[in-house]
Amino acid sequence: MQLSKREHWKPKPQQTSKMDRLKDKFREKSSALRTELRSLIKEHGDKTVGDVKLGQVFGGMRGVKSMIWETSNLDAMEGIRFRGYTIPELREKLPKFQGGKEPQPEGLFWLMLVDEIPTQEDVEWLSDEWERRSEIPDHTFSVLNTLSADTHPMTQFSIAIASLQSNSVFARRYASGMSKLDYWDATYEDAMNLIACLPRIAAYIYRRTYHKGEHIEPDHSLDWAGNYAHMLGCSDQEDFKKLMRLYLTIHADHEGGNASAHTVHLVGSTLSDAYLSFASGMNSLAGPLHGLANQEVIKWVFEMLDSLGTETPSKEQIAQYVNDTLAAGKVIPGYGHAVLRQPDPRFTAQRIFAEEYIPDSNLVQTIWKIFDVVPPILQGLGKVKNPWPNVDAHSGAILCHYGLTEYSYYTVLFGVSRALGVLAALCWSRALGFPLERPKSVTSEWIKEFIKSNS
Ligand code: CMX
């Protein structure tokens, strides 16, 4: 057989928009930074930015500076800043949907990608652009339909994302011989297309799993988050849409070292496209020490309420249940963090929302009582570095109020949001020409020899 006649995998060609104000801005900013960083690395590449201790080698690499992540930065005491802005600042400065109070995730994506607060018009453009790109291939729905309804929603989500990969612009252009300098362009197209498709896919998974496959058609007049809320079909729709705008903003990014972001970065460094990289990141988010903690929190709270036989437990009852959980050798879900050493501002943002919209909810009030009870108990153990609540401690109670009680689904919501940060960061990794990630591992034998020769 002739070489050229051999069967060769070719994804379908796709149309891309010629007028793209966000892409034009990204091109300009990223090419300037790329040039600047090249000369910075040439001149300062030998400087040391930190030492690695043996405890860090065994301890999950906490604090080891080893990656560039442009879109956000995490401070142990202050929490997350997205391009320098705290969550309260984002709530104030990012454009809102039709005069509402909550920021639109579109605005945060714009900010993370090009380091500028967008105008209202920019955000409307981006909403329309994602709407234009949101067509989902039939085979993705077919793939989902073949999965048994008891397949965990995160597994369904990951499979659906991987099934979209046949649309990858990056994979198609790479297969036909793309220049390295164009990697960012194809990645940008994939990131925009993938983000555009996520609400519909995620809502489809929810409705097929919990609502007998009775799907709700998208509402093309809505924004990205509002349309997702609409397709989920929860009660008190207007407030639920507001919640989703906030939720999908605050979960979007948490610098690069967290497990899901780092997974996307690592897999992406092999030049796997955005679909494969993001699906991998979602498999990482699905672990109970990471994103799945949002499901674990509310499950643990419901089990506590069932075992106490009340919907309004006292702080003393909660303290006893917390101690029992710890005595059984389990963690308190929603508490602790690998980096943070204060209450997570994402917890606080949700608390402020709940104080305004649903202060009388028994479940929400239980979350607030748990907040009063758990930190001193964890502190008393003497080993927990951060006794404070993280983002996952609050979300379930608010979602339950709006009728989204199926907690096995919660990590999918987190994942839809997380796409914004990790895919904006992947565009930067491609634009800045980051290489294949390949740290050094050592054996425990090597460590013992190292200690011997250094003592
Ligand atoms: N309940 C009980 N024990 C806890 C604890 C908690 N919430 N948080 C930490 N600890 C324990 C650890 O299990 C560890 O115990 P051992 O030494 O016996 O193994 C000890 O305290 C020291 O851990 P640490 O250094 O404080 O925490 P890590 O950086 O190792 O782990 C995290 C961080 C998030 C995995 C951990 O705090 C935890 O398991 N929390 C509960 C799960 C959770 O809420 N995860 C979501 C995090 C946010 C996210 O990524 O979405």
Beta-bridged to residue 335, according to DSSP, are 389
Burial class (CB in 10 A: 0-12, 13-18, 19+), 150: exposed
Say what the pLDDT of residue 17 is.
58
290 is catalytic: yes
Segment 65-93 shows an average pLDDT of 97
Nearest-atom number in ligand 1 for the CA of 326 is 2
In the structure, what pLDDT confidence band is assigned to residue 330 with cuts at 50, 70 and 90?
very high
Give CA separation, 145 vs 204, 212, 265, in Å: 10, 12, 30
Q: State yes or no: pLDDT of 59 exceeds 80.
A: yes
HSE-CB at 187 with a 13 A cutoff on CA atoms is: 32
- Tens of pLDDT, residue by residue over 375-429, are 999 999 999 999 999 999 999 999 999 999 999 999 999 999 999 999 999 999 9
- Tens of pLDDT, residue by residue over 117-162, are 999 999 999 999 999 999 999 999 999 999 998 999 999 999 999 9
Number of separate helices (H) and strands (E) present in the chain: 20, 2
Q: State yes or no: pLDDT of 266 exceeds 70.
A: yes
Q: Quick check: CB of 197 below 6 Å from ligand 1?
A: no
The label of the residue with tokens 């105008």 reads 119
Show the CA angle centred on residue 177, arms to residues 174 and 180, nearest 5°. Answer: 70
262 is catalytic: no
8 is catalytic: no
Q: State yes or no: pLDDT of 438 exceeds 50.
A: yes
Show the CA angle centred on residue 334, arms to residues 329 and 337, nearest 5°. Answer: 90
Query: In this prediction, what percent of the chain has a pLDDT beyond 90?
Result: 94
| Residue nearest (by alpha carbon) to ligand 1 atom 14 | 384
Q: Quick check: CB of 74 below 6 Å from ligand 1?
A: no
The C-alpha atoms of residue 102 and residue 96 are separated, in whole angstroms, by 6
Reported CATH class of domain 66-289+406-455:
mainly alpha
Say what the pLDDT of residue 22 is.
98
Say what the pLDDT of residue 175 is.
97
> Does domain 293-401 fall into CATH 1.10.230.10?
yes
In the structure, what pLDDT confidence band is assigned to residue 1 with cuts at 50, 70 and 90?
very low
Sequence-separated (6 or more) residues with CB below 8 Å from residue 299: 333, 407
**Nearest partner of 169 among 275, 251, 247, judged by Cα:** 275
In the structure, what pLDDT confidence band is assigned to residue 5 with cuts at 50, 70 and 90?
low
Contact (CB, 8 A) for 145 and 208: yes
Pull the structure tokens for residue 389.
């609540």
In the structure, what pLDDT confidence band is assigned to residue 287 with cuts at 50, 70 and 90?
very high
Mutate which of 250, 374, 383, 422 for ligand 1? The one with the most ligand atoms within 8 Å of its CB, which is 383
Give CA separation, 111 vs 90, 169, 391, in Å: 10, 24, 21
| SS3 (DSSP) at 403 | coil
Nearest-atom number in ligand 1 for the CA of 254 is 50
The C-alpha atoms of residue 455 and residue 452 are separated, in whole angstroms, by 5
The label of the residue with tokens 């929860």 reads 234
- Ligand 1 centre and the CA of 73: distance in Å? 21
**Nearest partner of 273 among 196, 161, 126, 177, judged by Cα:** 161
In the structure, what pLDDT confidence band is assigned to residue 10 with cuts at 50, 70 and 90?
low
Q: State yes or no: pLDDT of 255 exceeds 80.
A: yes
Say what the pLDDT of residue 3 is.
47
Contact (CB, 8 A) for 278 and 264: yes
Sign (positive or negative) of CA dihedral 257, 261, 267, 273: negative
Q: State yes or no: pLDDT of 18 exceeds 70.
A: no
Q: Quick check: CB of 335 below 6 Å from ligand 1?
A: yes
**Nearest partner of 56 among 389, 390, 338, 340, judged by Cα:** 338
Nearest-atom number in ligand 1 for the CA of 386 is 26
3-state helix, strand and coil shares in percent for the chain, rounded to the nearest 5: 60, 5, 35
In the structure, what pLDDT confidence band is assigned to residue 455 with cuts at 50, 70 and 90?
confident
Q: Which of 10-24, 208-222, 277-291 has the lowest mean pLDDT?
A: 10-24
Task: Write the Ramachandran bin of 233: left for phi over 0, alpha for psi from -120 to 50, otherwise beta.
Answer: left
Q: Which of 6-15, 160-169, 339-348, 435-444 has the lowest mean pLDDT?
A: 6-15
What is the residue-wise DSSP string for 331-391? --TTB--SS--S--HHHHHHHHHHHHH-TT-HHHHHHHHHHHHHHHHHHHHS--S--SB-T
Q: Is 66-289+406-455's fold the same as 293-401's?
A: no
Burial class (CB in 10 A: 0-12, 13-18, 19+), 191: buried
| SS3 (DSSP) at 80 | strand
Mutate which of 250, 285, 299, 384 for ligand 1? The one with the most ligand atoms within 8 Å of its CB, which is 384
pTM given for the model: 0.95
Say what the pLDDT of residue 237 is.
85
Say what the pLDDT of residue 7 is.
56
Nearest-atom number in ligand 1 for the CA of 390 is 48
Segment 214-219 shows an average pLDDT of 96
What are the residue boundaries of the structural domains of the chain, listed by start? 66-289+406-455, 293-401
Q: State yes or no: pLDDT of 181 exceeds 50.
A: yes
Q: State yes or no: pLDDT of 37 exceeds 70.
A: yes
Q: State yes or no: pLDDT of 451 exceeds 60.
A: yes
Q: Quick check: CB of 387 below 6 Å from ligand 1?
A: no
Please list, residue by residue across 5-41, b when 16 or more beta carbons sit within 10 angstroms of its beta carbon and e when fewer do. eeeeeebeeeeeeeebebbebbbebbeebeeeeeeee
Kindly name the residue from 262, 265, 290, 394 that is annotated as catalytic.
290
- 82 secondary structure, DSSP code: E
The label of the residue with tokens 């897999």 reads 267
Say what the pLDDT of residue 16 is.
56
Say what the pLDDT of residue 99 is.
86
- Ligand 1 centre and the CA of 256: distance in Å? 19
Q: Quick check: CB of 76 below 6 Å from ligand 1?
A: no
Q: Quick check: CB of 330 below 6 Å from ligand 1?
A: no
Mutate which of 325, 337, 386, 392 for ligand 1? The one with the most ligand atoms within 8 Å of its CB, which is 337
Mean pLDDT of the chain: 95
